[in-house]
Amino acid sequence: MTVSSAPGKVYLFGEHAVVYGEPAVPCAIERRATVTVEAREDDHIRVEAQDLSLDGFTVEYADGTDHRPDVDVPAGLVDAAVGYVDAAVEQAREAAGAPSAGFDITVESEIPLGAGLGSSAAVVVAGIDAATRELGEPLDRTELADRAYRAEYDVQEGQASRADTFCSTMGGAVRVEGDDCRRIDAPNLPFVVGFDGGAGDTGELVAGVRQLRDEYDFAADTVENIGDIVRAGESRLAAADPSADPDEELLAELGRLMDFDHGLLEALGVSSRTLDNMVWAAREAGAHGAKLTGAGGGGCIVALDETPETSTALRYTAECHDVFRAELDREGVRAEGATDGAASDKRGTGGEVT
Protein backbone atom coordinates (compact mmCIF):
# COMPACT_ATOMS: atom_id res chain seq x y z
CA MET A 1 0.00 0.00 0.00
CA THR A 2 1.39 3.39 -0.99
CA VAL A 3 0.09 6.79 0.07
CA SER A 4 0.86 10.20 -1.46
CA SER A 5 -0.61 13.62 -0.90
CA ALA A 6 -0.47 16.80 -2.94
CA PRO A 7 -1.65 20.34 -2.22
CA GLY A 8 -4.35 22.48 -3.77
CA LYS A 9 -3.64 26.04 -4.82
CA VAL A 10 -4.98 29.54 -5.15
CA TYR A 11 -4.25 31.84 -8.04
CA LEU A 12 -2.57 34.99 -6.77
CA PHE A 13 -2.89 36.26 -10.35
CA GLY A 14 -3.43 35.17 -13.92
CA GLU A 15 -6.11 32.47 -14.32
CA HIS A 16 -7.78 32.35 -17.73
CA ALA A 17 -5.15 34.64 -19.30
CA VAL A 18 -2.63 31.80 -18.77
CA VAL A 19 -4.59 29.74 -21.30
CA TYR A 20 -3.54 32.28 -24.00
CA GLY A 21 0.16 32.36 -23.12
CA GLU A 22 0.15 35.12 -20.51
CA PRO A 23 1.99 34.36 -17.25
CA ALA A 24 0.16 33.28 -14.08
CA VAL A 25 1.23 32.93 -10.45
CA PRO A 26 -0.54 30.14 -8.56
CA CYS A 27 0.47 29.39 -4.96
CA ALA A 28 0.17 25.95 -3.33
CA ILE A 29 -1.78 25.93 -0.06
CA GLU A 30 -1.80 23.54 2.89
CA ARG A 31 -5.03 21.78 1.90
CA ARG A 32 -4.35 18.38 0.46
CA ALA A 33 -5.71 15.47 -1.49
CA THR A 34 -4.42 12.14 -0.23
CA VAL A 35 -4.46 9.09 -2.48
CA THR A 36 -3.89 5.55 -1.23
CA VAL A 37 -3.04 2.93 -3.85
CA GLU A 38 -2.80 -0.82 -3.50
CA ALA A 39 -1.90 -3.05 -6.44
CA ARG A 40 -4.42 -5.79 -7.29
CA GLU A 41 -4.00 -9.26 -8.77
CA ASP A 42 -6.38 -8.45 -11.65
CA ASP A 43 -6.63 -5.42 -13.96
CA HIS A 44 -9.64 -3.85 -12.22
CA ILE A 45 -9.72 -0.38 -10.74
CA ARG A 46 -11.70 0.18 -7.57
CA VAL A 47 -12.09 3.80 -6.53
CA GLU A 48 -13.33 4.89 -3.16
CA ALA A 49 -13.80 8.62 -2.79
CA GLN A 50 -14.29 9.74 0.78
CA ASP A 51 -14.61 13.45 0.45
CA LEU A 52 -14.74 15.17 -2.90
CA SER A 53 -17.60 17.48 -2.01
CA LEU A 54 -19.61 14.29 -2.40
CA ASP A 55 -21.14 12.12 0.25
CA GLY A 56 -18.62 9.44 -0.60
CA PHE A 57 -18.91 6.61 -3.07
CA THR A 58 -17.19 3.46 -4.25
CA VAL A 59 -16.99 2.33 -7.84
CA GLU A 60 -15.25 -0.69 -9.38
CA TYR A 61 -14.66 -1.20 -13.06
CA ALA A 62 -12.46 -2.76 -15.70
CA ASP A 63 -12.06 -1.63 -19.31
CA GLY A 64 -15.40 -1.30 -21.03
CA THR A 65 -17.56 -1.53 -17.93
CA ASP A 66 -19.69 1.23 -16.50
CA HIS A 67 -18.14 3.65 -14.02
CA ARG A 68 -21.40 4.49 -12.35
CA PRO A 69 -21.52 3.88 -8.59
CA ASP A 70 -24.72 2.55 -7.06
CA VAL A 71 -25.22 5.49 -4.72
CA ASP A 72 -27.18 8.63 -5.31
CA VAL A 73 -24.57 11.31 -6.04
CA PRO A 74 -24.58 13.76 -8.96
CA ALA A 75 -23.38 11.91 -12.07
CA GLY A 76 -21.36 14.89 -13.35
CA LEU A 77 -19.26 15.10 -10.23
CA VAL A 78 -18.73 11.34 -10.09
CA ASP A 79 -17.70 11.24 -13.75
CA ALA A 80 -15.31 14.10 -13.14
CA ALA A 81 -13.79 12.51 -10.05
CA VAL A 82 -13.47 9.07 -11.62
CA GLY A 83 -12.25 10.60 -14.90
CA TYR A 84 -9.27 12.20 -13.16
CA VAL A 85 -8.41 9.04 -11.24
CA ASP A 86 -8.69 7.06 -14.47
CA ALA A 87 -6.37 9.44 -16.31
CA ALA A 88 -3.87 9.24 -13.43
CA VAL A 89 -3.96 5.43 -13.59
CA GLU A 90 -3.31 5.54 -17.36
CA GLN A 91 -0.27 7.78 -16.87
CA ALA A 92 1.08 5.59 -14.06
CA ARG A 93 0.61 2.40 -16.10
CA GLU A 94 2.41 3.95 -19.05
CA ALA A 95 5.25 5.40 -16.94
CA ALA A 96 5.81 2.06 -15.19
CA GLY A 97 5.42 -0.03 -18.36
CA ALA A 98 2.58 -1.97 -16.71
CA PRO A 99 -0.41 -1.49 -19.05
CA SER A 100 -2.75 -3.83 -17.20
CA ALA A 101 -1.89 -3.05 -13.59
CA GLY A 102 -5.02 -2.96 -11.40
CA PHE A 103 -5.42 -0.94 -8.23
CA ASP A 104 -7.60 -0.30 -5.22
CA ILE A 105 -7.59 3.46 -4.85
CA THR A 106 -8.88 5.62 -2.03
CA VAL A 107 -9.12 9.38 -2.44
CA GLU A 108 -9.53 11.65 0.56
CA SER A 109 -9.56 15.34 -0.14
CA GLU A 110 -9.67 18.49 1.96
CA ILE A 111 -10.13 20.49 -1.23
CA PRO A 112 -13.64 21.18 -2.52
CA LEU A 113 -14.18 19.86 -6.04
CA GLY A 114 -14.36 22.31 -8.94
CA ALA A 115 -14.10 25.33 -6.66
CA GLY A 116 -10.92 26.91 -8.04
CA LEU A 117 -8.53 25.32 -5.55
CA GLY A 118 -7.00 22.77 -7.90
CA SER A 119 -8.67 19.69 -6.43
CA SER A 120 -8.40 17.66 -9.63
CA ALA A 121 -4.71 18.52 -10.09
CA ALA A 122 -3.96 17.48 -6.51
CA VAL A 123 -5.77 14.14 -6.99
CA VAL A 124 -3.99 13.49 -10.28
CA VAL A 125 -0.52 14.40 -8.92
CA ALA A 126 -0.93 12.35 -5.73
CA GLY A 127 -2.53 9.49 -7.70
CA ILE A 128 0.26 9.19 -10.27
CA ASP A 129 2.89 9.51 -7.54
CA ALA A 130 1.33 6.81 -5.35
CA ALA A 131 0.60 4.42 -8.25
CA THR A 132 4.09 4.66 -9.77
CA ARG A 133 5.72 4.18 -6.37
CA GLU A 134 3.39 1.23 -5.70
CA LEU A 135 4.66 -0.31 -8.96
CA GLY A 136 8.27 0.32 -7.90
CA GLU A 137 8.84 3.01 -10.54
CA PRO A 138 8.92 6.37 -8.74
CA LEU A 139 9.00 9.45 -10.97
CA ASP A 140 11.05 12.59 -10.46
CA ARG A 141 9.01 15.73 -9.96
CA THR A 142 9.56 17.07 -13.43
CA GLU A 143 8.16 13.94 -15.07
CA LEU A 144 5.39 13.72 -12.49
CA ALA A 145 4.28 17.31 -13.22
CA ASP A 146 4.37 16.62 -16.94
CA ARG A 147 2.35 13.41 -16.70
CA ALA A 148 -0.18 15.04 -14.37
CA TYR A 149 -0.59 17.84 -16.92
CA ARG A 150 -1.20 15.30 -19.69
CA ALA A 151 -3.82 13.56 -17.54
CA GLU A 152 -5.67 16.85 -16.91
CA TYR A 153 -5.32 17.83 -20.55
CA ASP A 154 -6.99 14.57 -21.63
CA VAL A 155 -9.86 14.81 -19.15
CA GLN A 156 -10.46 18.51 -19.90
CA GLU A 157 -10.21 17.94 -23.65
CA GLY A 158 -7.33 20.31 -24.12
CA GLN A 159 -8.71 23.09 -21.89
CA ALA A 160 -5.89 22.96 -19.34
CA SER A 161 -2.73 24.90 -18.64
CA ARG A 162 0.25 23.48 -16.77
CA ALA A 163 -0.38 25.82 -13.84
CA ASP A 164 -2.37 23.62 -11.44
CA THR A 165 -0.47 20.40 -11.89
CA PHE A 166 2.98 22.05 -11.79
CA CYS A 167 2.05 24.02 -8.66
CA SER A 168 0.63 20.98 -6.89
CA THR A 169 3.73 18.91 -7.70
CA MET A 170 6.37 21.48 -6.79
CA GLY A 171 4.64 23.42 -4.01
CA GLY A 172 5.30 27.06 -3.13
CA ALA A 173 4.61 29.95 -5.49
CA VAL A 174 5.18 29.17 -9.14
CA ARG A 175 5.21 31.08 -12.39
CA VAL A 176 3.72 29.52 -15.48
CA GLU A 177 3.92 30.94 -18.98
CA GLY A 178 3.02 28.46 -21.71
CA ASP A 179 5.31 25.46 -21.26
CA ASP A 180 7.78 27.44 -19.17
CA CYS A 181 7.10 26.59 -15.51
CA ARG A 182 9.30 27.52 -12.56
CA ARG A 183 9.19 28.06 -8.83
CA ILE A 184 9.55 31.63 -7.64
CA ASP A 185 10.47 33.01 -4.24
CA ALA A 186 7.60 34.39 -2.24
CA PRO A 187 7.01 35.26 1.39
CA ASN A 188 4.23 33.48 3.27
CA LEU A 189 1.24 35.55 2.19
CA PRO A 190 -1.77 35.78 4.55
CA PHE A 191 -4.37 34.09 2.33
CA VAL A 192 -7.98 33.92 3.42
CA VAL A 193 -10.22 31.69 1.29
CA GLY A 194 -14.00 32.04 1.09
CA PHE A 195 -16.03 29.22 -0.48
CA ASP A 196 -19.63 29.67 -1.66
CA GLY A 197 -20.34 25.92 -1.55
CA GLY A 198 -20.68 25.74 -5.33
CA ALA A 199 -18.56 24.82 -8.31
CA GLY A 200 -17.86 26.22 -11.76
CA ASP A 201 -17.48 24.21 -14.96
CA THR A 202 -13.88 24.93 -15.97
CA GLY A 203 -14.27 23.69 -19.55
CA GLU A 204 -17.37 25.79 -20.14
CA LEU A 205 -15.88 28.91 -18.56
CA VAL A 206 -12.65 28.61 -20.55
CA ALA A 207 -14.66 28.09 -23.73
CA GLY A 208 -16.76 31.18 -22.88
CA VAL A 209 -13.68 33.39 -22.55
CA ARG A 210 -12.27 31.98 -25.79
CA GLN A 211 -15.46 32.88 -27.62
CA LEU A 212 -15.57 36.37 -26.14
CA ARG A 213 -11.95 36.89 -27.12
CA ASP A 214 -12.69 35.83 -30.70
CA GLU A 215 -15.69 38.09 -30.86
CA TYR A 216 -14.53 41.30 -29.15
CA ASP A 217 -11.21 43.13 -29.22
CA PHE A 218 -11.87 44.34 -25.68
CA ALA A 219 -11.72 40.74 -24.43
CA ALA A 220 -8.39 40.08 -26.17
CA ASP A 221 -7.07 43.32 -24.66
CA THR A 222 -8.41 42.31 -21.24
CA VAL A 223 -6.48 39.04 -21.40
CA GLU A 224 -3.30 41.01 -22.22
CA ASN A 225 -4.03 43.44 -19.39
CA ILE A 226 -4.24 40.53 -16.96
CA GLY A 227 -0.77 39.56 -18.20
CA ASP A 228 0.47 43.08 -17.34
CA ILE A 229 -0.97 42.75 -13.82
CA VAL A 230 0.79 39.41 -13.36
CA ARG A 231 4.13 40.88 -14.47
CA ALA A 232 3.69 43.81 -12.06
CA GLY A 233 2.86 41.41 -9.21
CA GLU A 234 5.81 39.19 -10.03
CA SER A 235 8.29 42.04 -9.88
CA ARG A 236 6.91 43.06 -6.47
CA LEU A 237 7.34 39.50 -5.23
CA ALA A 238 10.85 39.27 -6.65
CA ALA A 239 11.87 42.38 -4.68
CA ALA A 240 10.53 40.96 -1.38
CA ASP A 241 12.49 38.93 1.18
CA PRO A 242 10.95 35.43 0.96
CA SER A 243 12.05 34.48 4.46
CA ALA A 244 10.53 37.53 6.19
CA ASP A 245 6.88 38.26 6.85
CA PRO A 246 5.55 40.42 4.02
CA ASP A 247 5.46 44.12 4.90
CA GLU A 248 2.36 46.31 4.65
CA GLU A 249 3.55 48.03 1.52
CA LEU A 250 3.99 44.74 -0.35
CA LEU A 251 0.60 43.45 0.81
CA ALA A 252 -1.10 46.69 -0.17
CA GLU A 253 0.40 46.58 -3.66
CA LEU A 254 -0.34 42.87 -4.22
CA GLY A 255 -3.88 43.44 -2.93
CA ARG A 256 -4.41 46.32 -5.33
CA LEU A 257 -3.28 44.16 -8.23
CA MET A 258 -5.61 41.35 -7.08
CA ASP A 259 -8.50 43.80 -7.12
CA PHE A 260 -7.61 44.87 -10.67
CA ASP A 261 -7.34 41.24 -11.72
CA HIS A 262 -10.78 40.43 -10.30
CA GLY A 263 -12.30 43.38 -12.16
CA LEU A 264 -10.86 42.13 -15.43
CA LEU A 265 -12.05 38.56 -14.78
CA GLU A 266 -15.48 39.97 -14.12
CA ALA A 267 -15.34 41.79 -17.45
CA LEU A 268 -14.57 38.43 -19.08
CA GLY A 269 -17.79 37.07 -17.57
CA VAL A 270 -16.32 34.44 -15.25
CA SER A 271 -17.31 35.90 -11.88
CA SER A 272 -20.69 35.40 -10.22
CA ARG A 273 -22.94 37.17 -7.78
CA THR A 274 -21.79 35.00 -4.88
CA LEU A 275 -18.09 35.43 -5.73
CA ASP A 276 -18.54 39.20 -6.11
CA ASN A 277 -20.38 39.44 -2.79
CA MET A 278 -17.60 37.58 -1.00
CA VAL A 279 -14.96 39.74 -2.71
CA TRP A 280 -16.74 42.90 -1.55
CA ALA A 281 -17.26 41.55 1.98
CA ALA A 282 -13.50 40.93 2.19
CA ARG A 283 -12.61 44.37 0.83
CA GLU A 284 -15.02 46.13 3.18
CA ALA A 285 -13.53 44.18 6.10
CA GLY A 286 -10.15 45.72 5.29
CA ALA A 287 -8.50 43.00 3.19
CA HIS A 288 -5.59 44.32 1.12
CA GLY A 289 -7.32 42.88 -1.93
CA ALA A 290 -9.61 40.06 -3.02
CA LYS A 291 -10.36 38.14 -6.20
CA LEU A 292 -11.93 34.95 -7.42
CA THR A 293 -9.52 32.04 -7.80
CA GLY A 294 -9.52 29.48 -10.59
CA ALA A 295 -12.05 29.18 -13.35
CA GLY A 296 -14.79 31.13 -11.52
CA GLY A 297 -18.54 30.81 -12.05
CA GLY A 298 -18.80 29.81 -8.38
CA GLY A 299 -16.43 28.29 -5.85
CA CYS A 300 -13.75 30.27 -4.05
CA ILE A 301 -12.31 33.71 -3.60
CA VAL A 302 -8.91 34.51 -2.14
CA ALA A 303 -8.16 37.61 -0.09
CA LEU A 304 -5.03 38.93 1.60
CA ASP A 305 -5.43 39.85 5.24
CA GLU A 306 -3.09 39.18 8.16
CA THR A 307 -5.81 40.19 10.67
CA PRO A 308 -8.91 38.09 11.56
CA GLU A 309 -11.24 40.76 10.11
CA THR A 310 -11.79 39.24 6.66
CA SER A 311 -12.43 35.74 8.02
CA THR A 312 -14.98 37.15 10.46
CA ALA A 313 -16.72 39.22 7.80
CA LEU A 314 -16.90 36.25 5.42
CA ARG A 315 -18.30 34.05 8.16
CA TYR A 316 -21.20 36.51 8.43
CA THR A 317 -21.68 36.78 4.66
CA ALA A 318 -24.77 34.88 3.52
CA GLU A 319 -23.12 33.62 0.31
CA CYS A 320 -20.11 32.22 2.15
CA HIS A 321 -20.40 28.54 3.00
CA ASP A 322 -16.90 28.05 4.44
CA VAL A 323 -13.90 30.23 5.21
CA PHE A 324 -10.35 29.31 6.15
CA ARG A 325 -6.84 30.70 6.33
CA ALA A 326 -4.38 29.09 3.97
CA GLU A 327 -0.65 28.86 4.55
CA LEU A 328 1.65 28.68 1.55
CA ASP A 329 2.60 25.01 1.13
CA ARG A 330 6.27 24.90 0.16
CA GLU A 331 6.49 21.12 -0.06
CA GLY A 332 4.31 20.01 -2.97
CA VAL A 333 3.70 16.30 -3.49
CA ARG A 334 4.91 14.05 -0.68
CA ALA A 335 4.96 10.43 0.35
CA GLU A 336 2.78 9.74 3.36
CA GLY A 337 3.32 6.97 5.87
CA ALA A 338 6.43 4.92 6.47
CA THR A 339 6.02 2.36 3.69
CA ASP A 340 8.12 4.07 1.05
CA GLY A 341 9.27 7.46 2.29
CA ALA A 342 12.78 7.10 0.89
CA ALA A 343 11.52 6.92 -2.68
CA SER A 344 10.18 10.43 -2.55
CA ASP A 345 13.29 11.79 -0.86
CA LYS A 346 15.31 10.70 -3.89
CA ARG A 347 13.17 12.76 -6.24
CA GLY A 348 14.72 15.91 -7.63
CA THR A 349 13.11 19.05 -6.32
CA GLY A 350 12.77 20.19 -9.91
CA GLY A 351 11.85 23.77 -10.51
CA GLU A 352 11.76 24.17 -14.21
CA VAL A 353 10.05 22.49 -17.11
CA THR A 354 10.46 23.86 -20.56
State the catalytic residues.
164
Q: Smallest distance, Å, CB 156 to ligand PMV? A: 7
Find out whether 154 and 170 touch, Cβ atoms under 8 Å: no
**How many helices and strands, by DSSP H and E, does the chain display?**
10, 13
- Stretch in the footprint of ligand PMV (CB under 6 A) among 34-42, 156-164, 182-190, 231-239: 156-164
Q: Which helix (H) or strand (E) holds 146?
A: helix 141-155
DSSP secondary structure letter of residue 69: -
What is the rounded CA–CA span in Å between residue 218 and residue 200?
24
Q: Does 177 interact with ligand PMV (rule: CB under 6 A)? A: no
Closest-approach residue to ligand PMV (CB): 294
Rounded to whole angstroms, the Cα distance separating 323 from 316 reads 10
Using rule CB under 6 A, residue 294 touches ligand PMV = yes
Q: Does 112 bind ligand PMV (CB under 6 A)?
A: no
Of 6, 295, 301, 303, the residue at the interface with ligand PMV (CB under 6 A) is: 295
Size of the site for ligand PMV (CB under 6 A): 14
From 91, 161, 271, 277, residue interacting with ligand PMV (rule: CB under 6 A): 161
| Residues 197-216 contacting ligand PMV, CB under 6 A | 202, 206
Is residue 272 close enough to count as binding ligand PMV by CB under 6 A?
no
Name the minimum Å distance from CB 163 to ligand PMV: 5
Looking at 16-24, 140-148, 250-258, 284-292, which segment touches ligand PMV (CB under 6 A)?
A: 16-24
* Shortest Å distance, C-beta 131 to ligand PMV: 22
Show the DSSP H helices in 201-323 as ranges. Answer: 202-215, 217-239, 248-267, 273-284, 309-315
User: Please, what's the b/e burial string for 84-120 (b: 16 or more CB within 10 A of its CB; e: otherwise)?
Assistant: bbbbbbbbbbebbebeebbbbbbbbbbbbbbbbbbbb
